[in-house]
Amino acid sequence: MTWSTPPRKGRSTAGASGDDLEEAWLVAQAAKKSQARAAVWGVSVSIGLRGQLNSFVLLVLLLFVVLAVSVTTEIGNGAKPQAPTTVPPADDTGAGDDAGRGDQVGECDMSSGRWVYDDVAYPLYKESACKFMSDQASCEKFGRTDLKYQHWRWQPYGCNLPRFNAAKLLGKLRDKRLAFVGDSLNRNQWVSMICLIDTATPTLHKSMSRNGSLVSFKIHEYNASVEFYWSPLLVESNADHPVHHRIADRIVRAGSISKHARRWADADLLVFNSYLWWRLPSMKVLWGSFEAAAEGAHGAVYEVTDSLRAFELAIYTWAEWLELHVDRSRTRLFFMSTSPTHLRSDEWEAASSVGTRNHRCYNETEPIAGEGHRGRDTEPAFARAVEAQVRRLGARGVAVRVLNVTQLSEHRKDAHPSVHRRQWDPPTEAQVRARARDPGSDADCIHWCLPGVPDVWNQILYAHIVSS
């Protein structure tokens, strides 16, 4: 299904503009007046032919005829009583409402709601229609035939999530940079954003360019760019290479962020995330430079600490940089909450099946039912560390909006690539044997298929961007 601009509240669902509706109303009114004049002329002729009748009878007859003509005219024009204009219930809004209550971001908790199956208005685009789709998210391309995961709509309680409007967003992004900074989940969301824009604007000139860790998608008519910068731990680390970053012995320079920040310092909108790469029992924190450490310099000191403590140090460095360098009158800042994983199928299976072989998210085709599911791999302490720094920044005049996508994503065990993704490396013998025993043994239950869950994240982000 291709993207289309949704109808506005109080307008015909036929898609007519306000000018079109006004013109149609004027035409209808003119037709009514013309018919009425013809009817009155016919009555006056009749009156002339019956001049000998009593004037009282003529008056009664005239009133009766005029009334009959009026009723006939209304019926002829197909007029019907007008129903009162009401806001539709949240569950019946389908694609949402571009000018509806969902735009009133401050009055609605868009993270609280439920998933509704909608095979009419969703997905917002087709996987094959996006010229910039990533193979990591192309589940249909790599053999997935069950496409129900594309048709689930997020319905917040008490309001509507505004449908994505690329033209409206590009109007906000004219002559601006929107930059996503973080790990592969943030890249997943970035790909979703450029697909939402690309499929909705087929006639615009767009291009993609790469410069090291920075990838830029540009919409030339608007002089707007939507970028992704690879920085999985936000601060400097030994996993910063955009391709070769699979390093088990992870090291961070928790006090150093400027090497990365100079690449996105002048962006107008910044969307950060960081969580997945911190999920280790412990981590090395380097005090000093990687160059000095490589040379064995005395000033390079490693401290082994638990990952949460290392994360807190890094987030403090991130917040300090924002406080000292961000243009508070121009730059808008967002932080995406944790993207959950679905690596433990015993978390949602019936109690009787607990203890059976864990198939992860392999062959899962339905969301987790009920409310409030939370997986064991989602650690709230990391979210609290971010929130603490965001509050500190707010007290110092730097506004950062945390977009909570964790709970709504927790239920979508069906929406991961699983085995339907590009295999970047040939499988080892051990992997071949494991797959023969259990096809889901190495399923990707971390990233997300597109179209899918990250589109909802971007709808929430979009609502905040266009609300001011």
41 shares its domain with 115: no
Considering 237, 409, 447, 455, which one is annotated as catalytic?
447
Report pLDDT for 214: 98
Contacts of 24 (CB under 8 A, 6+ apart): 16
One-letter amino acid for residue 184 of the chain: S
Q: Examine the domain organization and report whether 247 and 361 are in the same domain.
A: yes
On the question of pLDDT at 380 being above 60, the answer is yes
Number of domains in the chain: 2
In a domain, 134, yes or no: yes
At 350 the pLDDT is 61
Asked if residue 192 and residue 63 are part of one domain, the reply reads no
Residue 179 has pLDDT above 70, yes or no: yes
- Tens of pLDDT, residue by residue over 133-168, are 999 999 999 999 999 999 999 999 989 999 999 999
Catalytic residue check, 447: yes
pTM score? 0.77
What band does 3 get if pLDDT is binned at 50, 70 and 90? very low
The Cα 105–Cα 92 span in angstroms is 20
pLDDT of residue 32: 40
- Whether 332 is covered by a domain: the verdict is yes
Measuring CA to CA, how many Å separate 66 from each of 35, 40, 58, 93, 415?
Answer: 12, 7, 12, 44, 66
Report whether pLDDT(6) > 60: no
User: Which of 209, 255, 211, 251 lies closest to 232 in space, CA to CA?
Assistant: 251
Instruction: Identify whether residues 333 and 254 lie together within a single domain.
Output: yes
Q: Are residues 59 and 179 in the same domain?
A: no
Domain that holds residue 435: 108-466
Q: Is the same domain home to 321 and 193? A: yes
Looking only at the bridges linking them, the beta strands covering 214-219 and 236-237 are unpaired
Q: What is the CATH number of the domain that holds 455?
A: 3.40.50.1110
User: What are the structure tokens assigned to 84, written together?
Assistant: 């009162």
Tell me if residue 414 is catalytic: no
Pair 347, 216 in one domain: yes
| pLDDT single digits (tens) 302-354 | 999 999 999 999 999 999 999 999 999 999 999 999 999 999 998 998 643 44
Lowest mean pLDDT among 32-46, 64-78, 233-247, 313-327: 32-46
Q: Which of 98, 134, 183, 184 is catalytic?
A: 184
User: Are residues 313 and 251 both part of a single domain?
Assistant: yes
Options 97, 198, 444, 455, the catalytic residue: 444
Please state, in angstroms and as integers, the Cα–Cα distance from residue 428 to each residue in 56, 117, 362, 423, 435, following that order: 106, 39, 20, 12, 11
pLDDT at 308: 97
Distance of CA 459 to the CA centre of its chain: 3
Same domain for 126 and 53 = no
Task: Report pLDDT for 297.
Answer: 63
Q: Where does the pLDDT of residue 246 fall: very low under 50, low under 70, confident under 90, or very high at 90 and above?
A: confident
346 among known catalytic residues: no
Shared-domain flag, residues 48 and 163: no
Provide the CB-side half-sphere exposure for 190 (13 A, CA): 30
